[in-house]
Structure 1
Amino acid sequence: MKEKIRIIEHGQGWICLEKPGGMSVHNDPGKDMISILQKSLGRGSVEKLQPAHRLDKETSGLLLVATTQETLTDLSALFAARKVTKRYKALVHGHFDQDRGSWDTPLTKSAGGRTDPRGRGKRVKALTGYTVLDRSIHYTLLDIELFTGRKHQIRRHAKLAGHPVVGDPRYGSPRALEFLKNQKQFESMGLQSYFLKFQDKGRTITLELPDLPLEAARLFEEDKS
Protein backbone atom coordinates (compact mmCIF):
# COMPACT_ATOMS: atom_id res chain seq x y z
CA MET A 1 0.00 0.00 0.00
CA LYS A 2 1.42 3.35 -1.05
CA GLU A 3 -1.11 5.67 0.51
CA LYS A 4 0.24 8.89 1.91
CA ILE A 5 -0.15 9.26 5.66
CA ARG A 6 -1.39 12.75 6.46
CA ILE A 7 -0.22 14.56 9.60
CA ILE A 8 -3.22 16.38 11.10
CA GLU A 9 -1.59 18.08 14.09
CA HIS A 10 1.42 17.81 16.35
CA GLY A 11 2.34 18.88 19.84
CA GLN A 12 5.17 18.43 22.30
CA GLY A 13 5.94 14.72 22.18
CA TRP A 14 3.03 13.64 19.96
CA ILE A 15 1.75 13.58 16.38
CA CYS A 16 -1.82 13.03 15.22
CA LEU A 17 -2.08 11.15 11.93
CA GLU A 18 -4.89 10.18 9.59
CA LYS A 19 -4.56 6.41 9.20
CA PRO A 20 -5.82 4.94 5.93
CA GLY A 21 -8.27 2.06 6.19
CA GLY A 22 -6.67 -1.30 5.44
CA MET A 23 -3.29 -0.38 6.94
CA SER A 24 -2.06 -1.93 10.20
CA VAL A 25 -0.77 0.43 12.86
CA HIS A 26 2.28 -1.58 13.88
CA ASN A 27 1.89 -5.31 13.22
CA ASP A 28 3.20 -5.48 9.65
CA PRO A 29 6.89 -4.50 9.71
CA GLY A 30 7.92 -2.42 6.71
CA LYS A 31 4.33 -1.91 5.56
CA ASP A 32 2.51 -0.69 8.65
CA MET A 33 1.84 2.94 9.49
CA ILE A 34 4.55 3.29 12.13
CA SER A 35 7.19 1.75 9.84
CA ILE A 36 6.25 4.01 6.93
CA LEU A 37 6.22 7.13 9.08
CA GLN A 38 9.53 6.24 10.76
CA LYS A 39 11.09 5.76 7.32
CA SER A 40 9.74 9.09 6.10
CA LEU A 41 11.44 10.86 9.04
CA GLY A 42 14.79 9.62 7.80
CA ARG A 43 17.63 7.62 9.28
CA GLY A 44 18.84 10.57 11.31
CA SER A 45 15.63 10.80 13.28
CA VAL A 46 15.96 10.11 16.99
CA GLU A 47 12.20 9.93 17.50
CA LYS A 48 10.82 6.51 18.37
CA LEU A 49 7.19 6.45 17.33
CA GLN A 50 4.70 4.52 19.41
CA PRO A 51 0.89 4.54 19.09
CA ALA A 52 -0.92 5.80 22.19
CA HIS A 53 -4.11 3.83 21.46
CA ARG A 54 -5.54 1.23 19.08
CA LEU A 55 -7.25 1.40 15.72
CA ASP A 56 -8.27 -1.76 13.86
CA LYS A 57 -6.52 -2.37 10.55
CA GLU A 58 -9.74 -1.79 8.61
CA THR A 59 -10.67 1.41 10.50
CA SER A 60 -9.52 4.75 9.13
CA GLY A 61 -9.02 8.06 10.88
CA LEU A 62 -7.29 9.87 13.70
CA LEU A 63 -4.48 8.16 15.58
CA LEU A 64 -2.27 9.69 18.28
CA VAL A 65 1.37 8.67 18.11
CA ALA A 66 3.86 9.48 20.86
CA THR A 67 7.40 10.51 19.95
CA THR A 68 8.79 10.29 23.49
CA GLN A 69 8.40 7.73 26.25
CA GLU A 70 7.21 10.41 28.67
CA THR A 71 4.38 11.45 26.35
CA LEU A 72 3.47 7.82 25.67
CA THR A 73 3.10 7.25 29.41
CA ASP A 74 0.96 10.40 29.81
CA LEU A 75 -1.31 9.68 26.84
CA SER A 76 -1.70 6.01 27.75
CA ALA A 77 -2.80 7.04 31.25
CA LEU A 78 -5.41 9.42 29.79
CA PHE A 79 -6.84 6.70 27.56
CA ALA A 80 -6.83 4.17 30.41
CA ALA A 81 -8.70 6.60 32.66
CA ARG A 82 -11.30 7.30 29.92
CA LYS A 83 -10.22 10.95 29.84
CA VAL A 84 -9.99 11.09 26.06
CA THR A 85 -13.22 11.71 24.15
CA LYS A 86 -13.28 9.41 21.11
CA ARG A 87 -15.95 9.62 18.46
CA TYR A 88 -16.41 7.69 15.26
CA LYS A 89 -18.51 7.86 12.13
CA ALA A 90 -19.98 4.48 11.21
CA LEU A 91 -21.81 3.68 8.00
CA VAL A 92 -24.06 0.76 8.92
CA HIS A 93 -26.71 -1.39 7.26
CA GLY A 94 -30.40 -0.66 7.79
CA HIS A 95 -32.52 2.05 9.38
CA PHE A 96 -33.15 3.20 12.97
CA ASP A 97 -36.48 4.05 14.61
CA GLN A 98 -34.81 6.47 17.03
CA ASP A 99 -32.27 9.21 16.30
CA ARG A 100 -30.33 8.52 19.51
CA GLY A 101 -29.63 5.45 21.55
CA SER A 102 -27.01 3.16 23.03
CA TRP A 103 -25.84 -0.44 22.91
CA ASP A 104 -24.85 -2.05 26.21
CA THR A 105 -24.56 -5.79 25.55
CA PRO A 106 -21.65 -7.15 27.67
CA LEU A 107 -18.68 -8.33 25.58
CA THR A 108 -15.56 -10.35 26.18
CA LYS A 109 -12.34 -8.34 26.23
CA SER A 110 -11.03 -10.32 23.26
CA ALA A 111 -12.57 -10.21 19.79
CA GLY A 112 -15.65 -12.20 18.90
CA GLY A 113 -16.58 -13.70 15.54
CA ARG A 114 -19.31 -13.42 12.91
CA THR A 115 -21.47 -16.09 14.55
CA ASP A 116 -20.71 -15.07 18.14
CA PRO A 117 -19.88 -11.33 18.36
CA ARG A 118 -20.24 -11.33 22.17
CA GLY A 119 -17.22 -13.61 22.41
CA ARG A 120 -16.63 -16.73 24.45
CA GLY A 121 -15.78 -16.63 28.13
CA LYS A 122 -16.26 -13.92 30.72
CA ARG A 123 -18.13 -10.88 29.45
CA VAL A 124 -17.72 -7.41 30.90
CA LYS A 125 -19.51 -4.07 30.69
CA ALA A 126 -19.52 -2.42 27.26
CA LEU A 127 -21.31 0.82 26.38
CA THR A 128 -21.58 2.47 22.96
CA GLY A 129 -23.66 5.60 22.31
CA TYR A 130 -24.92 6.56 18.85
CA THR A 131 -26.67 9.46 17.08
CA VAL A 132 -28.11 9.26 13.57
CA LEU A 133 -26.43 11.81 11.28
CA ASP A 134 -27.92 10.90 7.90
CA ARG A 135 -29.80 8.20 6.02
CA SER A 136 -29.81 6.71 2.54
CA ILE A 137 -31.96 3.99 1.00
CA HIS A 138 -30.08 1.07 2.55
CA TYR A 139 -27.64 2.62 5.02
CA THR A 140 -27.47 4.90 8.07
CA LEU A 141 -24.57 7.17 9.04
CA LEU A 142 -23.98 7.23 12.79
CA ASP A 143 -21.96 9.42 15.12
CA ILE A 144 -20.65 7.04 17.78
CA GLU A 145 -19.03 7.67 21.15
CA LEU A 146 -17.24 4.94 23.06
CA PHE A 147 -17.65 4.83 26.84
CA THR A 148 -15.71 1.57 27.27
CA GLY A 149 -12.87 0.09 25.26
CA ARG A 150 -13.50 -3.51 24.26
CA LYS A 151 -11.79 -4.90 21.19
CA HIS A 152 -13.91 -4.33 18.06
CA GLN A 153 -16.56 -2.82 20.35
CA ILE A 154 -18.40 -0.73 17.74
CA ARG A 155 -18.28 -3.49 15.15
CA ARG A 156 -19.53 -6.14 17.58
CA HIS A 157 -22.30 -3.98 19.05
CA ALA A 158 -23.45 -2.94 15.57
CA LYS A 159 -23.60 -6.57 14.46
CA LEU A 160 -25.53 -7.61 17.58
CA ALA A 161 -28.01 -4.78 16.99
CA GLY A 162 -28.67 -6.04 13.47
CA HIS A 163 -26.84 -3.12 11.84
CA PRO A 164 -23.35 -4.37 10.92
CA VAL A 165 -20.78 -1.83 9.75
CA VAL A 166 -20.76 -1.66 5.95
CA GLY A 167 -17.86 -3.64 4.53
CA ASP A 168 -16.85 -5.24 7.84
CA PRO A 169 -14.84 -8.33 6.80
CA ARG A 170 -15.15 -10.00 10.21
CA TYR A 171 -18.73 -9.30 11.33
CA GLY A 172 -20.49 -8.51 8.05
CA SER A 173 -22.34 -11.18 6.06
CA PRO A 174 -20.45 -12.83 3.17
CA ARG A 175 -23.39 -12.07 0.88
CA ALA A 176 -23.30 -8.34 1.67
CA LEU A 177 -19.52 -8.21 1.28
CA GLU A 178 -19.73 -9.93 -2.11
CA PHE A 179 -22.42 -7.49 -3.27
CA LEU A 180 -20.39 -4.46 -2.15
CA LYS A 181 -17.27 -5.71 -3.89
CA ASN A 182 -18.80 -6.87 -7.17
CA GLN A 183 -21.70 -4.46 -7.62
CA LYS A 184 -20.45 -1.32 -5.87
CA GLN A 185 -16.65 -1.68 -6.18
CA PHE A 186 -16.45 -1.05 -2.44
CA GLU A 187 -13.76 -2.96 -0.56
CA SER A 188 -13.27 -0.70 2.46
CA MET A 189 -14.96 -0.62 5.87
CA GLY A 190 -17.31 2.20 6.82
CA LEU A 191 -15.78 3.08 10.19
CA GLN A 192 -13.75 6.24 10.82
CA SER A 193 -12.16 7.65 13.97
CA TYR A 194 -12.99 11.31 13.31
CA PHE A 195 -12.84 13.13 16.68
CA LEU A 196 -10.41 13.20 19.63
CA LYS A 197 -10.37 15.57 22.61
CA PHE A 198 -7.88 15.45 25.48
CA GLN A 199 -5.86 17.59 27.88
CA ASP A 200 -2.23 18.28 26.99
CA LYS A 201 -0.20 20.16 29.57
CA GLY A 202 -3.16 22.27 30.63
CA ARG A 203 -4.52 22.86 27.12
CA THR A 204 -7.62 21.25 25.63
CA ILE A 205 -6.72 19.66 22.30
CA THR A 206 -9.61 19.02 19.89
CA LEU A 207 -8.91 17.16 16.64
CA GLU A 208 -11.54 16.46 14.00
CA LEU A 209 -11.85 15.17 10.44
CA PRO A 210 -14.73 16.88 8.60
CA ASP A 211 -15.34 14.32 5.85
CA LEU A 212 -15.85 10.60 5.41
CA PRO A 213 -13.20 8.69 3.44
CA LEU A 214 -13.85 9.02 -0.30
CA GLU A 215 -15.00 5.41 -0.87
CA ALA A 216 -17.53 5.48 1.96
CA ALA A 217 -18.78 8.93 0.92
CA ARG A 218 -19.22 7.76 -2.68
CA LEU A 219 -21.15 4.62 -1.65
CA PHE A 220 -23.42 6.63 0.67
CA GLU A 221 -24.19 9.36 -1.85
CA GLU A 222 -24.88 6.83 -4.62
CA ASP A 223 -27.32 5.03 -2.33
CA LYS A 224 -29.31 8.25 -1.80
CA SER A 225 -30.22 8.55 -5.47
Structure 2
Amino acid sequence: MITDPFSISILSAGRGWLMAEKPSGLSVQEEQGQDLCSLLLSRINTDPDLRNKIDCDPGFGVHPVHRLDRETSGIILLACRPRTFSYFAMQFEHHKVRKRYIALLHGDLPEPAAEDGWGLWTWPLSKEAGGRLHPEGRPRAVPSETRFRVLRRSAHYTLIECDLLTGRKHQIRRHARLAGHAVVGDARYGTSRSLKFLREEMGFIRLALHSFSLQVQPPGAAAPQVFQSPAIPPEILRLLEEDQ
Protein backbone atom coordinates (compact mmCIF):
# COMPACT_ATOMS: atom_id res chain seq x y z
CA MET A 1 0.00 0.00 0.00
CA ILE A 2 1.29 3.46 -0.94
CA THR A 3 1.15 5.92 1.96
CA ASP A 4 3.84 8.48 1.09
CA PRO A 5 2.41 11.33 -1.03
CA PHE A 6 5.92 12.30 -2.13
CA SER A 7 6.45 8.88 -3.75
CA ILE A 8 3.94 9.81 -6.48
CA SER A 9 5.54 11.50 -9.48
CA ILE A 10 4.01 14.82 -10.56
CA LEU A 11 4.89 15.34 -14.22
CA SER A 12 3.47 18.83 -14.66
CA ALA A 13 1.22 21.32 -12.89
CA GLY A 14 -0.41 24.73 -13.26
CA ARG A 15 -3.06 26.83 -11.58
CA GLY A 16 -5.95 24.49 -10.82
CA TRP A 17 -4.49 21.29 -12.28
CA LEU A 18 -1.72 18.70 -12.17
CA MET A 19 -0.58 15.72 -14.22
CA ALA A 20 0.52 12.77 -12.08
CA GLU A 21 1.76 9.24 -12.68
CA LYS A 22 -0.44 6.79 -10.80
CA PRO A 23 1.08 3.51 -9.59
CA SER A 24 -0.69 0.25 -10.41
CA GLY A 25 -2.96 -0.96 -7.59
CA LEU A 26 -3.80 2.51 -6.26
CA SER A 27 -7.43 3.65 -6.45
CA VAL A 28 -7.98 7.12 -7.88
CA GLN A 29 -10.73 8.26 -5.49
CA GLU A 30 -12.58 5.31 -4.01
CA GLU A 31 -10.76 5.01 -0.68
CA GLN A 32 -10.96 8.27 1.24
CA GLY A 33 -7.64 9.07 2.89
CA GLN A 34 -5.74 6.33 1.03
CA ASP A 35 -6.49 6.95 -2.65
CA LEU A 36 -4.56 9.00 -5.20
CA CYS A 37 -6.65 12.16 -4.77
CA SER A 38 -6.25 12.06 -0.98
CA LEU A 39 -2.50 11.53 -1.20
CA LEU A 40 -2.04 14.34 -3.71
CA LEU A 41 -4.15 16.74 -1.64
CA SER A 42 -1.98 15.93 1.38
CA ARG A 43 1.13 16.62 -0.68
CA ILE A 44 -0.22 19.94 -1.95
CA ASN A 45 -1.05 21.02 1.60
CA THR A 46 2.45 20.18 2.88
CA ASP A 47 4.50 21.47 -0.07
CA PRO A 48 4.43 25.31 -0.12
CA ASP A 49 5.89 25.61 -3.63
CA LEU A 50 3.39 23.16 -5.11
CA ARG A 51 0.52 24.73 -3.15
CA ASN A 52 1.34 28.19 -4.50
CA LYS A 53 1.71 26.91 -8.07
CA ILE A 54 -1.57 24.97 -8.14
CA ASP A 55 -3.63 27.34 -5.95
CA CYS A 56 -6.03 24.55 -5.04
CA ASP A 57 -9.59 25.50 -4.07
CA PRO A 58 -9.90 24.09 -0.51
CA GLY A 59 -13.62 23.57 -0.97
CA PHE A 60 -13.08 21.53 -4.14
CA GLY A 61 -10.02 19.42 -3.40
CA VAL A 62 -8.46 17.15 -6.04
CA HIS A 63 -10.63 15.40 -8.65
CA PRO A 64 -9.76 13.22 -11.68
CA VAL A 65 -10.80 14.64 -15.04
CA HIS A 66 -10.94 11.17 -16.61
CA ARG A 67 -10.97 7.50 -15.56
CA LEU A 68 -7.97 5.32 -14.85
CA ASP A 69 -8.58 1.86 -13.43
CA ARG A 70 -7.03 0.90 -10.11
CA GLU A 71 -5.02 -1.84 -11.84
CA THR A 72 -3.68 0.49 -14.56
CA SER A 73 -0.60 2.65 -14.01
CA GLY A 74 0.44 5.86 -15.72
CA ILE A 75 -0.54 9.41 -16.53
CA ILE A 76 -3.71 10.92 -15.13
CA LEU A 77 -5.00 14.50 -15.26
CA LEU A 78 -6.51 15.96 -12.10
CA ALA A 79 -8.20 19.29 -11.42
CA CYS A 80 -8.08 21.33 -8.21
CA ARG A 81 -10.55 24.10 -9.07
CA PRO A 82 -14.14 23.79 -10.41
CA ARG A 83 -13.61 26.02 -13.46
CA THR A 84 -10.43 24.17 -14.39
CA PHE A 85 -12.24 20.84 -14.09
CA SER A 86 -14.98 22.08 -16.44
CA TYR A 87 -12.39 23.47 -18.87
CA PHE A 88 -10.66 20.10 -19.24
CA ALA A 89 -13.92 18.11 -19.15
CA MET A 90 -15.14 20.03 -22.21
CA GLN A 91 -12.05 18.92 -24.14
CA PHE A 92 -12.83 15.29 -23.34
CA GLU A 93 -16.49 15.77 -24.23
CA HIS A 94 -15.59 17.23 -27.63
CA HIS A 95 -12.98 14.53 -28.34
CA LYS A 96 -10.05 16.95 -28.36
CA VAL A 97 -7.95 14.83 -26.00
CA ARG A 98 -5.69 12.03 -27.20
CA LYS A 99 -4.78 9.17 -24.86
CA ARG A 100 -2.22 6.48 -25.62
CA TYR A 101 -1.44 3.34 -23.65
CA ILE A 102 1.21 0.64 -23.61
CA ALA A 103 -0.09 -2.91 -23.11
CA LEU A 104 1.55 -6.32 -22.93
CA LEU A 105 -0.69 -9.01 -24.41
CA HIS A 106 -0.69 -12.78 -24.23
CA GLY A 107 0.32 -14.58 -27.41
CA ASP A 108 1.57 -13.56 -30.83
CA LEU A 109 -0.74 -10.78 -32.02
CA PRO A 110 -0.85 -10.68 -35.84
CA GLU A 111 0.83 -7.68 -37.46
CA PRO A 112 -1.72 -5.15 -38.83
CA ALA A 113 -1.96 -5.18 -42.63
CA ALA A 114 -2.00 -1.39 -43.03
CA GLU A 115 1.16 0.21 -44.45
CA ASP A 116 1.50 2.56 -41.48
CA GLY A 117 1.59 -0.40 -39.10
CA TRP A 118 -1.59 0.55 -37.24
CA GLY A 119 -4.54 -1.78 -36.84
CA LEU A 120 -8.06 -1.04 -35.62
CA TRP A 121 -10.30 -2.96 -33.21
CA THR A 122 -13.95 -2.07 -33.79
CA TRP A 123 -15.97 -4.49 -31.66
CA PRO A 124 -18.99 -2.67 -30.20
CA LEU A 125 -18.95 -2.55 -26.39
CA SER A 126 -21.62 -1.79 -23.84
CA LYS A 127 -21.05 1.21 -21.61
CA GLU A 128 -20.84 -1.12 -18.63
CA ALA A 129 -17.92 -3.54 -18.29
CA GLY A 130 -18.30 -7.19 -19.22
CA GLY A 131 -16.38 -10.24 -18.04
CA ARG A 132 -14.10 -12.93 -19.46
CA LEU A 133 -16.91 -14.87 -21.15
CA HIS A 134 -18.73 -11.79 -22.48
CA PRO A 135 -16.22 -8.92 -22.67
CA GLU A 136 -18.51 -6.98 -25.02
CA GLY A 137 -20.81 -6.49 -22.02
CA ARG A 138 -24.55 -6.06 -21.72
CA PRO A 139 -27.03 -4.56 -22.45
CA ARG A 140 -26.85 -2.76 -25.82
CA ALA A 141 -23.33 -2.31 -27.22
CA VAL A 142 -22.23 0.96 -28.84
CA PRO A 143 -19.49 1.67 -31.44
CA SER A 144 -15.99 1.45 -29.95
CA GLU A 145 -12.61 1.90 -31.63
CA THR A 146 -9.05 1.21 -30.50
CA ARG A 147 -6.06 1.78 -32.78
CA PHE A 148 -3.00 -0.34 -32.06
CA ARG A 149 0.46 -1.13 -33.37
CA VAL A 150 3.00 -3.76 -32.39
CA LEU A 151 6.17 -2.52 -30.67
CA ARG A 152 7.96 -5.72 -29.64
CA ARG A 153 7.47 -9.46 -29.40
CA SER A 154 8.80 -12.29 -27.26
CA ALA A 155 8.14 -16.02 -27.23
CA HIS A 156 4.73 -15.70 -25.54
CA TYR A 157 3.88 -11.97 -25.41
CA THR A 158 3.30 -8.96 -27.66
CA LEU A 159 3.93 -5.36 -26.57
CA ILE A 160 1.58 -2.87 -28.24
CA GLU A 161 0.80 0.83 -28.27
CA CYS A 162 -2.91 1.73 -28.18
CA ASP A 163 -4.69 4.92 -29.20
CA LEU A 164 -8.22 5.25 -27.80
CA LEU A 165 -10.66 6.71 -30.33
CA THR A 166 -13.63 6.15 -28.01
CA GLY A 167 -13.84 5.90 -24.24
CA ARG A 168 -15.65 2.79 -23.02
CA LYS A 169 -14.97 1.30 -19.62
CA HIS A 170 -12.07 -1.21 -19.79
CA GLN A 171 -11.99 -0.61 -23.56
CA ILE A 172 -8.44 -1.81 -24.25
CA ARG A 173 -8.81 -4.79 -21.93
CA ARG A 174 -12.11 -5.84 -23.51
CA HIS A 175 -10.93 -5.35 -27.09
CA ALA A 176 -7.73 -7.29 -26.38
CA ARG A 177 -9.79 -10.16 -24.96
CA LEU A 178 -12.11 -10.15 -27.99
CA ALA A 179 -9.00 -10.27 -30.21
CA GLY A 180 -7.97 -13.45 -28.39
CA HIS A 181 -4.96 -11.81 -26.71
CA ALA A 182 -5.91 -10.69 -23.21
CA VAL A 183 -3.77 -8.12 -21.40
CA VAL A 184 -1.18 -9.86 -19.23
CA GLY A 185 -2.17 -9.95 -15.56
CA ASP A 186 -5.84 -9.15 -16.21
CA ALA A 187 -7.84 -10.77 -13.40
CA ARG A 188 -11.16 -9.84 -15.00
CA TYR A 189 -10.69 -10.76 -18.66
CA GLY A 190 -7.76 -13.18 -18.47
CA THR A 191 -7.61 -16.73 -17.10
CA SER A 192 -6.90 -17.96 -13.58
CA ARG A 193 -4.28 -20.33 -15.01
CA SER A 194 -2.25 -17.51 -16.56
CA LEU A 195 -2.55 -15.40 -13.40
CA LYS A 196 -1.26 -18.28 -11.28
CA PHE A 197 1.72 -18.83 -13.60
CA LEU A 198 2.59 -15.13 -13.63
CA ARG A 199 2.38 -14.87 -9.86
CA GLU A 200 4.13 -18.10 -8.88
CA GLU A 201 6.67 -18.54 -11.68
CA MET A 202 7.43 -14.96 -12.75
CA GLY A 203 6.65 -12.91 -9.65
CA PHE A 204 4.39 -10.68 -11.77
CA ILE A 205 1.35 -9.42 -9.84
CA ARG A 206 -0.03 -6.45 -11.76
CA LEU A 207 -2.01 -5.59 -14.89
CA ALA A 208 0.38 -4.94 -17.79
CA LEU A 209 -1.40 -1.79 -18.95
CA HIS A 210 0.16 1.67 -18.69
CA SER A 211 -1.26 5.10 -19.56
CA PHE A 212 1.74 6.38 -21.52
CA SER A 213 0.79 9.78 -22.92
CA LEU A 214 -1.96 12.36 -22.83
CA GLN A 215 -2.43 15.21 -25.30
CA VAL A 216 -4.49 18.07 -23.89
CA GLN A 217 -4.48 21.88 -23.96
CA PRO A 218 -3.74 23.40 -20.52
CA PRO A 219 -5.34 26.73 -19.55
CA GLY A 220 -3.50 29.62 -21.18
CA ALA A 221 -1.62 27.40 -23.65
CA ALA A 222 -1.71 28.37 -27.33
CA ALA A 223 -1.99 24.76 -28.52
CA PRO A 224 -2.41 21.21 -27.20
CA GLN A 225 0.59 19.70 -25.42
CA VAL A 226 1.69 16.08 -25.10
CA PHE A 227 2.50 14.87 -21.60
CA GLN A 228 4.41 11.60 -21.59
CA SER A 229 5.32 9.02 -18.99
CA PRO A 230 9.09 8.90 -18.34
CA ALA A 231 9.29 5.18 -19.14
CA ILE A 232 7.42 1.92 -19.55
CA PRO A 233 7.21 0.28 -16.09
CA PRO A 234 10.35 -1.86 -15.62
CA GLU A 235 8.42 -4.91 -14.40
CA ILE A 236 6.55 -5.04 -17.73
CA LEU A 237 9.79 -4.80 -19.71
CA ARG A 238 11.44 -7.39 -17.48
CA LEU A 239 8.67 -9.91 -18.16
CA LEU A 240 9.03 -9.31 -21.89
CA GLU A 241 12.83 -9.56 -21.88
CA GLU A 242 12.94 -12.71 -19.74
CA ASP A 243 10.44 -14.50 -21.99
CA GLN A 244 12.88 -15.97 -24.50
Code of the residue aligned with 2:25 in structure 1: it is: G
Unpaired runs of 5+ in structure 2? 113-117
In 1, Cα distance between equivalents of 2:35 and 2:82: 20
Q: Which residue of 1 is the match for residue 181 of structure 2?
A: 163
In the alignment, does 2:72 pair up with 1:59?
yes
Q: Does structure 1 residue 7 correspond to structure 2 residue 23?
A: no
| TM superposition outliers: structure 1 runs of 4+ over 4 Å | 43-46
| Secondary structure at 1:132 match in 2 | strand
SS in 2 for 1:7: strand
Aligned pairs, number:
224
Q: One-letter code of the match for 2:158?
A: T
- Asked if 1:70 is matched to 2:90, the reply is no
Write the distance in 2 (CA, Å) between the matches of 1:153 and 1:195.
16
Q: Following TM superposition, by how much is the alpha carbon of 1:132 offset from its aligned partner in structure 2, in angstroms?
A: 0.4
Structure 2 residue matching 1:42: 3-state secondary structure? helix
C-alpha distance in 1, partners of 2:40/2:146? 31
Aligned to 1:126: 144
Amino acid at match of 2:76: L
Is 1:97 equivalent to 2:115 in the alignment? Answer: no
What is the CA-CA distance between 1:51 and the residue it aligns to? 0.6
Amino acid paired to 1:205 = Q
How many percent identity over aligned positions? 45
SS at match of 1:77: helix
| Matched residue type, 2:149 | T
Q: Which moved further from structure 2: 52-61 or 211-220?
A: 211-220
Query: Structure 1, unaligned stretches of length 5 or more?
Result: none
CA RMSD of aligned residues (A): 1.5
Verify the 8 A CA contact 2:109 2:181 in the aligned structure 1: no
CA distance in 2, matches of 1:32, 1:14: 17
Is it true that 1:183 corresponds to 2:201 in the alignment?
yes
Q: Give the C-alpha shift of residue 13 in structure 1.
A: 1.9
The aligned residue for residue 28 of structure 1 is 31
Identify which of 142, 157, 174 aligns with 2:160.
142
Distance between the aligned counterparts of 1:112 and 1:207, measured in 2?
A: 30
> C-alpha separation between the residues in 1 aligned to 2:109 and 2:183?
14
**Which residue does the alignment assign to 2:212?**
194
Q: 1:85 aligns with which of 79, 94, 98?
A: 98
Task: Give the structure-1-normalised TM-score.
Answer: 0.95
- Inter-partner Cα distance in structure 2 for 1:13 and 1:205: 17
Select 1:208's aligned residue among 215, 228, 244: 228
Deviation at 1:39, TM superposition (A): 1.6
